[in-house]
Amino acid sequence: MTDLAARRAAFRRLHASGCFVMPNPWDIGTTRYLGAMGFPALATTSSGFAFTRALPDTDWAVPVDAMLAHIAEIVAATDLPVNADFESGYAHDPEGLARNVAACVATGVAGLSIEDATGDPARPLYDIAEGAERIRAARAAIDAAGADVMLTGRAECYLTG
């Protein structure tokens, strides 16, 4: 299944059908290995990629261009739908987030997640209104691309106590 629209439709069907396991490859080799094991979809891992670069797992440590190149590499290495762990969208403001989400969609992902973590220990999470505005901006960027990409808003509150 190499057609991008078919991958995205398959990913949506997987979500509609119930629970499924989606492992996290961190490079081309693990992408091909996990794909050959029969999983229906894959998801990138921000920590797995960051750790291969000896960096911490934060979108403020890994440059957005490096992450986008990595996501594109994973998508190109498989015929399966790929969901991107896109951290906090690599921007604080909704406009920057929307630009980055559009670039992520262009890599060929079938889905992506945006966290509500700020990267600031003094204010670890975006407040609810700001978080909602960011998710609306991400959704609008996906819709403007004309892509049937699933969006997940991730709540990181379990990390902040």
Neighbours of 18 (CB within 10 A): 6
pLDDT in tens, 31-68: 999 999 999 999 999 999 999 999 998 767 999 999 99
pLDDT of residue 11 exceeding 50, the answer is: yes
Q: Measure the CA–CA gap between 73 and 136, rounded to whole angstroms.
A: 27
Q: How far apart are CA 80 and CA 1, in angstroms?
A: 7
**So what's the pLDDT on residue 2?**
61
Q: What global pTM score does this model have? A: 0.94
**Reported confidence tier of residue 1, pLDDT bands at 50, 70, 90:** very low
CA pair distance 94, 4, nearest whole angstrom: 27
What confidence score (pLDDT) does residue 121 get? 87
Instruction: Specify whether the CB–CB gap between 82 and 110 falls below 8 A.
Output: yes
Q: Which domains does the chain have, with CATH numbers?
A: 4-154 (3.20.20.60)
Banded model confidence at residue 119, pLDDT cuts 50, 70, 90: confident
